[in-house]
């Protein structure tokens, strides 16, 4: 009472005794709850449970449905026979030792029982009265014999309760399957009905306390390209592009949360607008910033120890070589001083930062490169392009793709990330009808196409994937979204196991994940 979350568990006699199936967030706080009897369920719509929630001002029905391809037929595995509504015995019969059970009835719409029971009006007599109601009369003799004909019915009509001779129908609980009392062999566990579920389906997103927030952010640039995450973070600081002239970048220390001053904060003066930016994974003070327009360069900035105290105006180095606008850059996950960038000149270039020069130019793209990602072991580089192709490179062997395969159909944007130990690629993109979807590929078999495709929703922004390799959970959300999808990715069918999604109060302008070392492991925080 007073909460707005409704949890649904499966109960089993073996460990784990409780397994969460789903949870439902209700609009109002709960003042009371009641389950609707099974005979009232809409079985043809595969409704397995309906709960009535009492709020301060309303009675709200909450329906639980099991998705089935066909809703035109009755699904026996979902709806075994349930307890009927006719009494099995009367009060005096029970005192006399009668243990008959209420008959079971079918939930099939065509086989529903029509008999009803009405309790008799209480007569104004003393408890010692010898008068019985009709109901009691039918149960005074518990040893009455019964015939095979009696066993065919699992319940009795009120008229049959009046005569002692017909009590056999009520006393045949254990006389065989035809009695209607035997439990249905088609009763399966909810787990087998719904299919496999994720071990992390109960993971919950929680907004940390406001004393951990950085607030009063002003003048943010919300026009970074779709290939950019909007901002970037490492375990010490965040870098935020600003809207002001000169391509300024605010650098804020995570160790100093709270409200920022109303006055201007020290910034990096990048000179021109920011296309993308990323921190060096091995040097938390080095920031790589891509520059669009006519400059076609990558600027490397070094933040002083302890953070920005004054405006930075001179980059540590500028990398030049692309002939068109640059829109994406990634550091190598294993080797220091290695950087890869992609550009509208349809090339991917690898840079050695210690010398400040380009060491390799990867060819083969025929249109804009949406996204690129190093494999976890750093041996391979995968790209997804607007030409509808996914390409896999081994830069130390060749500048041409090692493999190619079909990518997402839509040309609105795509992202990719390596999953399952680097053996698979997960791609987020669109179909021809602008539905957002995720696709799973085996990295060694790109030409065969995706192993699995999962449609999520229709929205304009590309889903940004983040993958946690420890749990194999992928987080997906887009700029302007309020919902973060969570799926456990497995190398066996059905490949994607849904977990609890997280919903924020305001739309995201950007979304990045901190390194795993920032997690509070004592509270089982994993991302």
Domain boundaries, the chain: 367-508
Predicted TM-score (pTM) of the model is 0.65
How far apart are the C-alpha atoms of 406 and 384, rounded to whole Å? 9
CB 288 within 8 A of CB 277: yes
How far apart are the C-alpha atoms of 54 and 58, rounded to whole Å? 6
Reference 88, options 178, 183, 169; nearest CA is 169
How far apart are the C-alpha atoms of 277 and 329, rounded to whole Å? 7
| β-bridge mates for residue 513, sequence order | none
Amino acid 384: pLDDT: 95
CB 488 within 8 A of CB 499: yes
Q: What are phi and psi of 161, to 5 degrees?
A: -70, -15
Q: Is 300 helix (H, G, I), strand (E, B) or coil?
A: strand
How far apart are the C-alpha atoms of 47 and 67, rounded to whole Å? 9
How far apart are the C-alpha atoms of 430 and 301, rounded to whole Å? 35
Block mean pLDDT (10 aa), the chain, length 527: 89 87 87 93 90 92 85 85 91 91 91 86 58 43 40 37 35 33 43 77 90 91 81 94 86 94 89 88 93 72 92 90 86 95 92 93 94 96 95 96 92 93 96 92 96 92 94 94 94 93 89 91 93
How far apart are the C-alpha atoms of 189 and 174, rounded to whole Å? 24
Q: Is 320 helix (H, G, I), strand (E, B) or coil?
A: strand
For residue 61, how many C-alpha atoms fall within 13 Å in the half-sphere facing its CB? 11
Enter the DSSP assignment of 433: T
395 CB neighbour count, 10 Å cutoff? 20
CB 53 within 8 A of CB 41: no
Q: Which residue has the tokens 């935020």?
A: 240
| β-bridge mates for residue 109, sequence order | none
Enter the DSSP assignment of 304: P
Amino acid 245: pLDDT: 75
Reference 395, options 350, 432, 430, 428; nearest CA is 350
Q: What dotted CATH number matches 367-508?
A: 2.130.10.10
Reference 201, options 526, 501, 500; nearest CA is 500
How far apart are the C-alpha atoms of 274 and 353, rounded to whole Å? 20
Amino acid 118: pLDDT: 87
Reference 330, options 322, 321, 341; nearest CA is 341
Q: Give the CA dihedral 132, 136, 141, 144, nearest 10 degrees.
A: 130
Reference 117, options 147, 149, 160, 58; nearest CA is 160
Amino acid 294: pLDDT: 56
Amino acid 432: pLDDT: 86
Torsion sign over Cα 235, 378, 276, 441: negative
Q: Which residue has the tokens 């990295």?
A: 443
Q: Is 146 helix (H, G, I), strand (E, B) or coil?
A: coil
Give one word for 44, left, alpha or beta, with left for phi > 0 and alpha for psi -120 to 50.
Answer: alpha
3-state secondary structure 332-396: CCCCCCEEEEEECCCCEEEEECCCCEEEEEECCCCCCEEEEEECCCCCCEEEEECCCEEEEECCC
How far apart are the C-alpha atoms of 274 and 243, rounded to whole Å? 10
Pairing, β 297-302 against β 104-105:
unpaired
How far apart are the C-alpha atoms of 198 and 500, rounded to whole Å? 10
Write the DSSP string, 246-275.
TTEEEEEETTS-EEPPSSPPPEEE-SS--S
How far apart are the C-alpha atoms of 275 and 292, rounded to whole Å? 6
């Amino acid at each position: 009472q007073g909460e707005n979350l409704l949890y649904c568990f499966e109960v089993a006699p073996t460990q784990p005794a409780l397994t969460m199936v789903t949870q439902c967030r209700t609009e109002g706080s709960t003042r009371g709850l009641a389950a609707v009897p099974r005979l009232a369920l809409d079985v043809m719509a595969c409704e397995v449970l309906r709960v009535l929630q009492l709020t301060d001002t309303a009675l709200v029905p909450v329906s639980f449905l099991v998705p089935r391809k066909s809703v035109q037929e009755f699904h026996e595995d979902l709806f075994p026979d349930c307890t009927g509504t006719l009494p099995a015995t009367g009060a005096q019969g029970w005192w006399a030792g009668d243990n008959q059970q209420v008959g079971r009835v079918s939930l099939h719409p065509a086989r529903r029982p029509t008999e009803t029971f009405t309790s008799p009006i209480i007569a104004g007599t003393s408890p010692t009265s010898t008068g019985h109601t009709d109901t009691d009369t039918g149960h005074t003799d518990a040893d009455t014999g019964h015939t095979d004909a009696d066993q065919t019915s699992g319940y009795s009509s009120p008229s049959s309760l009046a005569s002692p001779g017909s009590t056999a129908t009520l006393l045949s609980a254990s006389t065989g399957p035809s009695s209607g009392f035997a439990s249905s062999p088609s009763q399966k566990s909810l787990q087998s009905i719904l299919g496999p579920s994720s071990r992390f389906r109960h993971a919950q997103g929680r907004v940390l306390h406001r004393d951990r927030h950085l607030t009063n952010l002003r003048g943010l640039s919300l026009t970074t390209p779709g290939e950019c995450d909007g901002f970037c973070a490492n375990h010490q600081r965040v870098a935020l592009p600003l809207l002001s002239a000169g391509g300024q970048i605010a650098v804020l220390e995570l160790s100093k949360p709270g409200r920022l001053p109303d006055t201007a904060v020290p910034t990096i003066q990048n000179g021109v607008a920011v296309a993308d930016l990323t921190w060096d994974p091995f040097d938390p003070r080095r920031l790589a910033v891509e520059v669009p327009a006519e400059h076609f360069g990558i600027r490397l900035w070094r933040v002083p120890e302890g953070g920005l105290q004054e405006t930075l105006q001179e980059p540590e180095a500028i990398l030049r070589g692309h002939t068109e606008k640059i829109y994406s850059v990634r550091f190598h996950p294993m080797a220091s001083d290695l950087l890869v960038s992609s550009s509208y000149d349809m090339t991917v270039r690898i840079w050695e930062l210690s010398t400040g020069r380009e060491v390799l130019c990867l060819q083969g793209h025929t249109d804009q490169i949406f996204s690129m990602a190093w494999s976890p072991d750093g041996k391979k580089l995968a790209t997804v392009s607007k030409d509808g192709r996914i390409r896999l490179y081994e830069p130390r062997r060749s500048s041409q793709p090692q493999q190619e395969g079909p990518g997402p159909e839509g040309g609105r944007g795509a992202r990719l990330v390596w999953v399952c130990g680097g053996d698979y690629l997960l791609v987020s993109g669109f179909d021809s009808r602008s539905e957002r979807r995720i696709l799973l590929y085996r990295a060694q078999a790109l030409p065969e196409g995706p192993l699995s495709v999962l449609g999520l929703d229709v929205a304009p922004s590309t889903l940004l994937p983040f993958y946690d390799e420890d749990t194999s959970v992928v987080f997906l959300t887009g700029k302007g979204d309020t919902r973060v999808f969570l799926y456990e990715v497995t190398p066996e069918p059905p490949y994607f196991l849904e977990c609890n999604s997280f919903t924020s109060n305001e739309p995201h302008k950007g979304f990045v994940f901190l390194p795993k070392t920032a997690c509070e492991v004592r509270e089982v925080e994993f991302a």
